[in-house]
Structure 1
Amino acid sequence: MSNSSSAPHNNATDSDQGEDDDLMRKLGLSAKGVLLARQEGRVFLRLTGVVDYAGLRVAYDLVPAQGVLAKASKWRKMDADTRAQLLLERASDAVGAELRGYVSAFVQEMADACDDCGLDAQPFLGALAEMQISEPAGVVFDRIRQRLEHAVERDMEEQHAERTRQSINLAEYPASFDVARRLKRRFIALLGPTNSGKTHQAIEALAKAPSGVYLAPLRLLALENYERLQAMEAHGKPLAVSLVTGEERRLVAGATHVASTVEMLDTRTPVDVAVIDEIQMLADRDRGSAWTAAVCGAPAQVVYLVGAPEARRAIEVLAERLECELEVHVLKRKGPLSVEPSAVRKLSNLRRGDAVICFSRREVLMWRDMVTELGLSVATVYGNLSPEVRRAQAQRFRDGLADVVVGTDAIAMGLNMPIARIVLTTSVKYNGYEEEEIPAALARQIAGRAGRFGVHEEGLVAGYDNETHNVIRSLLREKPMPLKTTGFAVAPTLEHLHRISSVTNEHALAKLLKRFVHNIDVPDGFFYPRITEDQFERAAWLDTLELTVAEKFALSLVPISSKVPSLQRAWEHWATALAAKKITPIKAEQAPLHYLSLQEVEDACRLYSAYAWLAYRQPEYFPDTERAQLLSRQASERVDALLQDQNSALRKRQPKKFRR
Structure 2
Amino acid sequence: MPNEIDSEDPLAKGSDPLPDAGSVSDAASIHPLAAEQYLQEAGVELAKLEGRVMVRYAGTVDVDGLRVPYDLVPADGILAKASKWRNMGPDKRLLLVNERVHSAAIQKLHAQVGQFVLRLNSEARHYGIDAMQFLHALSAKDSAVPFDQVFARIGHRLEHALERQQEARHAERTRESINLAEYPESFELARRLPRRLIAVLGPTNSGKTHEAMEALANAKTGVYLAPLRLLALENYERLAAVERDGEPLKVSLVTGEERRLVEGATHVSSTVEMLDTNTRVDVAVIDEIQMLGDRDRGAAWTAAVCGAPATVVYLVGAPEARKAVEALARRLDCPLEIRLLKRKAPLTMEASAVRKLRNLRRGDAVIAFSRRDVLMWRDMITEIGLSVSTVYGNLSPEVRRAQAARFRDGSADIVVATDAIAMGLNLPIQRVVLTTAIKYNGIEEEELSAALTKQIAGRAGRFGVHEEGFVAGYDEHTHFVVRSLLQEKVPPVPPLGFSVAPTLEHLNRIAAVTGEQSLSKLLQRFEHNIDVPDGFFTPRITEDQSERALWLDTLPLSLADKFTLSLVPISSRIAHLHEAWQRWARALARGQASSLPALEQSDHRRNLQEVEDDCKLFSAYAWLSFRCPEYFPQGEEAQQRARAASELIDRMLQSQNAGLRRRSGKRVA
Give the TM-score taking structure 1 as reference length: 0.95
Structure 1 residue 228 corresponds to structure 2 residue 238: yes
Structure 1 residue 40 corresponds to structure 2 residue 50: yes
Q: Distance in 2 between matches of 1:159 and 1:112?
A: 21
1:132 to partner: Cα distance: 3.3
Q: Distance in 1 between matches of 2:624 and 2:473?
A: 42
Q: Distance in 2 between matches of 1:480 and 1:136?
A: 67
Q: Distance in 2 between matches of 1:497 and 1:130?
A: 45
Q: Which residue identity is paired with 1:127? A: A
Corresponding residue for 1:450?
Answer: 460
Corresponding residue for 2:206?
Answer: 196
Once the two structures are superposed, what CA deviation does each residue of 1:118-176 show, in whole Å capped at 9, x if it has no partner? 21111111111115311111110111111011111000000000000000000110000
Q: How does 1:324-363 map to 2 (within 5 A)?
A: 324-363=334-373
Structure 1 residues 214 and 458 mapped into 2: Cα distance closer, same or farther (>3 Å)? Answer: same
| Secondary structure of 1:70's aligned partner | strand
Q: Distance in 2 between matches of 1:303 and 1:131?
A: 72
| Secondary structure of 1:460's aligned partner | strand
Q: Distance in 1 between matches of 2:37 and 2:446?
A: 79
Q: 1:26 aligns with which of 17, 37, 47?
A: 37
Q: Contact 2:199 / 2:336 at 8 angstroms: preserved in 1?
A: yes
Corresponding residue for 2:300?
Answer: 290
Corresponding residue for 2:492?
Answer: 482
Q: Name the stretch that deviates more: 235-244 or 520-529.
A: 235-244
Q: 1:434 aligns with which of 425, 435, 444?
A: 444
1:285 to partner: Cα distance: 1.3
Once the two structures are superposed, what CA deviation does each residue of 1:338-380 show, in whole Å capped at 9, x if it has no partner? 0111100000000100000000000000000000011111000
1:30 to partner: Cα distance: 2.8
Q: 1:379 aligns with which of 383, 386, 389?
A: 389
Q: How does 1:209-224 map to 2 (within 5 A)?
A: 209-224=219-234
Corresponding residue for 2:95?
Answer: 85
Once the two structures are superposed, what CA deviation does each residue of 1:153-202 show, in whole Å capped at 9, x if it has no partner? 00000000000000000011000000001111100000001111100110
Q: Contact 1:588 / 1:631 at 8 angstroms: preserved in 2?
A: no
Q: Contact 1:131 / 1:140 at 8 angstroms: preserved in 2?
A: no
What percent identity do the matched residue pairs reach?
66
Once the two structures are superposed, what CA deviation does each residue of 1:178-232 show, in whole Å capped at 9, x if it has no partner? 0001111100000001111100110000011110000000000000000000001
Q: 1:368 aligns with which of 378, 399, 404?
A: 378
Once the two structures are superposed, what CA deviation does each residue of 1:23-67 show, in whole Å capped at 9, x if it has no partner? 46632x335431101112111000001111110011111111110
Q: Which residue identity is paired with 1:386? A: S
1:100 to partner: Cα distance: 0.9
1:80 to partner: Cα distance: 2.1
Q: 1:261 aligns with which of 251, 266, 271?
A: 271
- Structure 1: 5+ residue stretches without partners: 1-18
Q: Distance in 2 between matches of 1:313 and 1:341?
A: 35
Q: Which residue identity is paired with 2:512? A: S
Q: Distance in 2 between matches of 1:470 and 1:105?
A: 79
Q: Provide the alpha-carbon RMSD of the alignment.
A: 1.5
Structure 1 residues 92 and 592 mapped into 2: Cα distance closer, same or farther (>3 Å)? Answer: same
1:90 to partner: Cα distance: 1.1
Q: How does 1:146-545 map to 2 (within 5 A)?
A: 146-545=156-555
| Secondary structure of 1:344's aligned partner | coil
1:88 to partner: Cα distance: 2.2
Structure 1 residues 589 and 434 mapped into 2: Cα distance closer, same or farther (>3 Å)? Answer: farther
Corresponding residue for 2:627?
Answer: 617
Once the two structures are superposed, what CA deviation does each residue of 1:560-593 show, in whole Å capped at 9, x if it has no partner? 0011110000000000000001011222454533
Q: Distance in 2 between matches of 1:654 and 1:200?
A: 42
| Secondary structure of 1:652's aligned partner | helix
Structure 1 residue 561 corresponds to structure 2 residue 562: no
Q: Contact 2:241 / 2:248 at 8 angstroms: preserved in 1?
A: yes
Q: How does 1:5-84 map to 2 (within 5 A)?
A: 23=34, 26-27=37-38, 29-84=39-94
Q: Distance in 1 between matches of 2:31 and 2:590?
A: 69
Once the two structures are superposed, what CA deviation does each residue of 1:453-480 show, in whole Å capped at 9, x if it has no partner? 1110100110000110111111111122
Q: 1:596 aligns with which of 606, 610, 630?
A: 606
1:653 to partner: Cα distance: 1.3
Structure 1 residue 107 corresponds to structure 2 residue 117: yes
Q: Name the stretch that deviates more: 114-123 or 584-593.
A: 584-593
Structure 1 residues 353 and 100 mapped into 2: Cα distance closer, same or farther (>3 Å)? Answer: same
Q: Contact 2:36 / 2:46 at 8 angstroms: preserved in 1?
A: no
| Secondary structure of 1:58's aligned partner | strand
Q: Distance in 1 between matches of 2:289 and 2:501?
A: 17
Q: Distance in 2 between matches of 1:230 and 1:656?
A: 43
| Secondary structure of 1:188's aligned partner | strand
Q: Which residue identity is paired with 1:238? A: P
Q: Which residue identity is paired with 2:157? A: R
| Secondary structure of 1:449's aligned partner | coil
1:296 to partner: Cα distance: 0.4
Q: Contact 1:593 / 1:635 at 8 angstroms: preserved in 2?
A: no
| Secondary structure of 2:314's aligned partner | strand
Q: Distance in 2 between matches of 1:190 and 1:162?
A: 42
| Secondary structure of 1:496's aligned partner | helix
Q: Which residue identity is paired with 2:195? A: R
Q: Distance in 1 between matches of 2:43 and 2:337?
A: 86
| Secondary structure of 2:664's aligned partner | coil
Q: 1:94 aligns with which of 104, 116, 127?
A: 104
Q: Which residue identity is paired with 2:479? A: H
Corresponding residue for 1:650?
Answer: 660
Give the TM-score taking structure 2 as reference length: 0.94
Q: Distance in 1 between matches of 2:215 and 2:473?
A: 38
| Secondary structure of 1:455's aligned partner | coil
Q: Contact 1:355 / 1:423 at 8 angstroms: preserved in 2?
A: yes
Q: Name the stretch that deviates more: 394-403 or 124-133.
A: 124-133
Aligned length: 639
| Secondary structure of 1:126's aligned partner | helix
Structure 1 residues 465 and 23 mapped into 2: Cα distance closer, same or farther (>3 Å)? Answer: same
Once the two structures are superposed, what CA deviation does each residue of 1:392-430 show, in whole Å capped at 9, x if it has no partner? 000011111101000100000011010111000000000
Q: Contact 1:33 / 1:49 at 8 angstroms: preserved in 2?
A: no
Structure 1 residue 552 corresponds to structure 2 residue 562: yes
1:605 to partner: Cα distance: 0.3
Q: Name the stretch that deviates more: 85-94 or 401-410.
A: 85-94
Corresponding residue for 1:7?
Answer: none
Q: Distance in 2 between matches of 1:488 and 1:339?
A: 35
| Secondary structure of 2:597's aligned partner | coil
Q: Distance in 2 between matches of 1:363 and 1:372?
A: 14
Q: Contact 1:546 / 1:579 at 8 angstroms: preserved in 2?
A: yes
Q: Which residue identity is paired with 2:527? A: V
